[in-house]
A and B are shown apart, each in its own frame.
Chain A
Amino acid sequence: EVQLVESGGALKQPGGSLRLSCAASGFTFSIYVMNWVRQAPGKGLEWVSAITGSGSTAYYAESVKGRFTISRDNSKNTLYLQMNSLRADDTAIYYCAREEVLDYWGQGTLVTVSS
């Protein structure tokens, strides 16, 4: 059974940093593109970032480019999102999801950026 479990969400001050993790199981992690998608409170879905199976190529939404870094450790079946220079508008539930067509999702982890 495919499982994705996010962790690392927290309350942070503007300008702070945070690293999210997504532990994957039930599939061959290293061959799949993985994504981060977020949803601000009461708002729609926003795709944030994706990384190829090997980790060699990453893609970002313009809103996070230069501040967020996606990475993965295929030996640990884990996806990461390093979030720097956090802003209030980064407040959201962050989901990890598998594949370009987002066929499996985690339950999400809440990031709140507030002073």
Chain B
Amino acid sequence: DIQLTQSPSTLSASVGDRITITCRANQTINGWLAWYQQQPGKAPKLLIYQASTLESGVPSSFSGSGSGAEFTLTISSLQPDDFATYYCQQYHSYPSTFGQGTKLEIK
């Protein structure tokens, strides 16, 4: 199975900050990577797919990059609604797998 490792596990930041979350796979996944945001008590929401394609309706402050086995999610200017937990997911092959999550907290 493909393992995904996210870093950091927790990130403290302020409104207006630029942040980056990294997701590393233990083998190449050729860009078949998605990012999700989950607010407490809610279902996850798709943000980015194919490593860098922004889902419709997602603010342009979110961006994704990377290839091979290393990927990043960047939020260019944090807004209050962005404080949540973020997950990466690979859909290169089954079983699909998620990273362990990154909790973005207000500093």
Contacts and interface: CB of A to CB of B under 8 A. Distances in A.
A100 B96 contact: yes
A73 interface: no
Contacts of A50: 94, 96
A47 B98 CA distance: 7
B82 interface: no
Interface stretch (B18-26, B41-49, B62-70, B72-80): B41-49
B43 A44 contact: no
Given A44-B100, A101-B49, A59 B95 contact: yes
Contact of A107 (B43, B55, B96): B43
Q: Taking each of A35, A45, A62, which has the highest tally of chain B beta carbons within 10 Å of its own beta carbon?
A: A45
A105 B96 contact: no
A108 to B, nearest CB: 6
Most A C-beta atoms less than 10 A away, residue of B43, B55, B89? B43
Given A101-B34, A102-B34, A44 B98 contact: yes
Interface in A27-41: 35, 37
26 contacts: A35-B96, A44-B98, A44-B99, A44-B101, A45-B38, A45-B44, A45-B89, A46-B98, A47-B97, A50-B94, A59-B94, A61-B95, A62-B1, A62-B95, A100-B91, A100-B96, A101-B34, A101-B91, A102-B34, A102-B89, A103-B46, A103-B55, A105-B44, A105-B45, A107-B43, A108-B43
Interface of B: 1, 34, 36, 38, 43-46, 49-50, 55, 87, 89, 91, 94-101
Which 3 residue pairs across A and B have the least CB separation, nearest first? A59-B94, A105-B43, A100-B91
